[in-house]
Amino acid sequence: MIRQLNEIKDETLQKINKAENISQLEDIRVSVLGKKGNLTNILRSMNTLSAEERPVIGAAANTVKESIEMSIADKKEEILNSAMQAKLDKEYIDITLPGKKVEIGSLHPISKTAIELVEIFASIGFSVAEGPEIDFTKYNFDYLNTPVNHPARALTDTFYINEDVLLRTQTSPVQIRTMLSNKPPIKVISPGKVYRCDEIDATHSPLFNQMEGIIVDKDITMSDLKGTLEFFAKQLFGPQTKTKFRHHQFYFTEPGAEMDATCPKCKGLGCRVCGNTGWIEILGCGMLHPNIMEICGISHLEYSGYAFGMGIDRITMIKYGLEDLRLVYENDIRFIQQFIGR
């Protein structure tokens, strides 16, 4: 019987040694120490032994039982430890690896120009007004004195949502909205997006940015307009900049003009940027047409005013010497990065 006990012990210890997981270990335990386990059977058959044999065999059987229990416990701990180690190995984070590089961004060149334009006009007392990009046809055209047969009104030129609502084609409707909801003195600028049915090419985009300006007060004259816009051009392109005003008809101004500035690239000598003329067109402007003041409920006998409008994208191209507007809208990071700190 002692031999049988030793066999059970050796065999079980070997099995325990080979066990790979907790459930195999449990099976081994049940097969030896469970209710029908072989060691349990031996212990149960002890009552058939003689009084001298019983304590000897009993002690031996208990020793075997203890050593099996102990090695099951040891093996269990070993399996649990190695499972934990495997988990730790799998979830290991190498804190010595360098982190992901944080890319420092830059303002888009159009935003930079818009901020610069706003700052120049804010420095002489203009505040910023905003208007909706989806606006009424009446504010974009009718109240601005635009004739019914004007080509800009055509479906081929303007994105209509319906007959009465459109994507604004200019920031000029903000003039109307401002005059309708404010009494003079009025002195605002309004930068924002505008939309036209244009094919994309080097100088056109169906979405672009403009900035409008309007002043309404007593005794505002053409010389106020010229002085303000000349100041603006010098701030933008440098003190040596000269300006000239050419007559141009806008239906909402009387008289109307376009302002040219000496080319900032060649300083007026003539180059590729200015088509060898030395001059570059910067904006449209004029004295407020009496009709639109009256439409907005402001007496043109009591008040006068001027307005101007410019393309922010166009000024960006001039300022940074860009030859293709598409670069500005493609948002290629290599292009945008060139404007960091500029």
Which position among 109, 191, 286, 305 is part of the footprint of ligand DAH (CB under 6 A)? Answer: 286
Shortest Cβ distance from residue 152 to ligand DAH (Å)?
Answer: 9
Q: Tell me the β-bridge partners of 309.
A: 212, 284
Task: Please identify, using beta-carbon distances, which residue of 268 and 286 lies nearer to ligand DAH.
Answer: 286
Instruction: Identify residues 45-84 at the interface with ligand DAH (CB under 6 A).
Output: none
With CB atoms as reference, the residue minimizing the distance to ligand DAH is 309
Please state whether beta strands 127-128 and 165-167 pair in parallel, antiparallel, or not at all (unpaired). unpaired
Q: Does 309 bind ligand DAH (CB under 6 A)?
A: yes
Name which of 183, 190, 178, 213 is nearest 285 in CA terms.
213
Q: Does 178 bind ligand DAH (CB under 6 A)?
A: no
Among positive and negative, which fits the CA dihedral 165, 170, 173, 178? positive
Residue given tokens 């940027």 in the structure block: 273
Q: Does 284 bind ligand DAH (CB under 6 A)?
A: yes
Rounded Cα–Cα distance for residues 168 and 209 (Å) = 11
Shortest Cβ distance from residue 201 to ligand DAH (Å)?
Answer: 18
Task: Quote the crossing angle between the two packed helices 222-237 and 109-122, to the nearest 10°.
Answer: 130
Instruction: Identify residues 247-276 at the interface with ligand DAH (CB under 6 A).
Output: 250, 253
Q: How many residues bind ligand DAH (CB under 6 A)?
A: 11
Q: Does 146 bind ligand DAH (CB under 6 A)?
A: no
Rounded Cα–Cα distance for residues 149 and 34 (Å) = 102
Shortest Cβ distance from residue 105 to ligand DAH (Å)?
Answer: 31
Q: Tell me the β-bridge partners of 286.
A: 256, 307
Residue 287: in which H helix or E strand, if any?
strand 279-288
Q: Which stretch binds ligand DAH (CB under 6 A): 27-35, 97-105, 266-274, 306-314?
A: 306-314
Letters for 202-231 (x = contact with ligand DAH by CB under 6 A, - = none) are ----------x-------------------
Rounded Cα–Cα distance for residues 211 and 126 (Å) = 12
Shortest Cβ distance from residue 116 to ligand DAH (Å)?
Answer: 19
Rounded Cα–Cα distance for residues 128 and 316 (Å) = 20
Q: Which stretch binds ligand DAH (CB under 6 A): 75-83, 153-161, 218-226, 305-313?
A: 305-313
Q: What single letter denotes the amino acid at residue 200?
A: I
Q: Burial of 151 by CB count in 10 Å (0-12 exposed, 13-18 middle, 19+ buried)?
A: exposed
Shortest Cβ distance from residue 215 to ligand DAH (Å)?
Answer: 11
Q: Does 191 bind ligand DAH (CB under 6 A)?
A: no
DSSP type of residue 142:
G
Shortest Cβ distance from residue 193 to ligand DAH (Å)?
Answer: 13
Task: Please identify, using beta-carbon distances, which residue of 68 and 257 lies nearer to ligand DAH.
Answer: 257
CA distances from 52 to 4, 56, 60, 217, 335 (A): 18, 7, 13, 127, 100
Q: Does 293 bind ligand DAH (CB under 6 A)?
A: no
Which position among 285, 296, 312, 318 is part of the footprint of ligand DAH (CB under 6 A)? Answer: 285
- Residues engaged in binding ligand DAH (CB under 6 A): 170, 172, 212, 250, 253, 284-286, 307-309
